Homo-oligomer: A and B are copies of this chain.
Amino acid sequence: MTEGTKTPAKQTPRPDGNLYTVVSSNRMSEAIVEQIKSLIRGEKLRPGDRLPSERELGERMGVSRVTVREALRVLEASGLIEIRVGARGGAFVTSPSSSRIGTGLADLISLSPLTATEVTEARQVFELGIIPIVVERATADDIAELREMVAQHQAALKRGEYGMPMSAAFHVRVAACTHNTAIEMLVQSFHGPLLMSLREAQVAAPLMGHRGTTEHRDFVEAVADRDVERAEEIMRAHLGRTARRVARVRASRARGEG
């Protein structure tokens, strides 16, 4: 490079689609991030596509590899790309599955000063609120799958293998019955950090499993009967017990037992 060394910043105002956000950053890497983001938004880059290698990308965009790498780190942290090393490796656009965005949210939540109590309450509101939609839209396949799941969980319970992840899976599957990806993702992310917060609670209250799976079963049948009120009532009791357990764990921790 001959003249680029002198002026590393302050070019390319880039008045692309982002008219709404004030690009206050003079960072080249940020410009690259925005450019690739807009490519993904515009579906010129689709999930599974491979970006050019770092070296080629830098060459094409007139920046050094370091700068490209910083941009890729940001995109990776945002869950938009996944990076594989080795030959034929590189940056691949991730399929934005609900789990991926869910984990991103979960990470943010777990690092923010939210209390488990707050998250639990939000979860209660949401999971309760979607029940009318679940009851309305659940297909025969949905219900069959839920029944199957409950049966498996009850079997696992007998083997002493039932745990929080299974319960979380049930709730997410219920949310999926809304056939609304946004709702499913939300519920999924609720269960991420909660799962961690409640690990001890689960160990401390193992017998909750039986009651929990029974309630799950009853809930599925209420949905099958298209009985909104009964479904709501069951879920309310179910979630309420979880909330109280969370409160108890928090109290123990506050007393220095954590």
Q: Mark A125-140, 1 if CB is under 8 A from B, else 0.
A: 1101110010000000
Let me know if A151 is at the binding interface, CB within 8 A. Answer: no
**Interface size counted on chain A using CB atoms at 8 A:** 46
Q: Are A125 and B119 in contact (CB under 8 A)?
A: no
Question: Taking each of A108, A110, A118, A180, which has the highest tally of chain B beta carbons within 10 Å of its own beta carbon?
Answer: A108
Partner of A118, one of B107, B108, B121, B180: B180
**Which secondary structure dominates where chain A touches chain B?**
helix
Give chain B residues whose Cβ lies under 8 Å from the Cβ of A37: 111
B contact residues around A196 at 8 Å (CB): 20
| Residue A8 lies at the interface, judged by CB distance under 8 Å to chain B | no
Set of chain B residues within 8 Å of A178, measured between Cβ atoms: 121
**CB-CB nearest in chain B for A74:** B77
Given contacts A73-B29, A111-B96, contact A183 B78 (CB under 8 A): no
A186 adjacent to chain B (CB < 8 Å): yes
Q: Judging by beta carbons under 8 Å apart, are A113 and B181 in contact?
A: yes
Alpha-carbon distance between A77 and B185 when the two chains are bound, in angstroms:
20
Q: Is the CB of A77 within 8 A of B80?
A: no
Give 15 A-B contacts (CB < 8 Å), ordered by A residue.
A20-B199, A74-B74, A96-B111, A101-B109, A101-B112, A104-B105, A118-B180, A121-B178, A121-B180, A125-B126, A125-B130, A125-B133, A126-B126, A126-B129, A128-B129
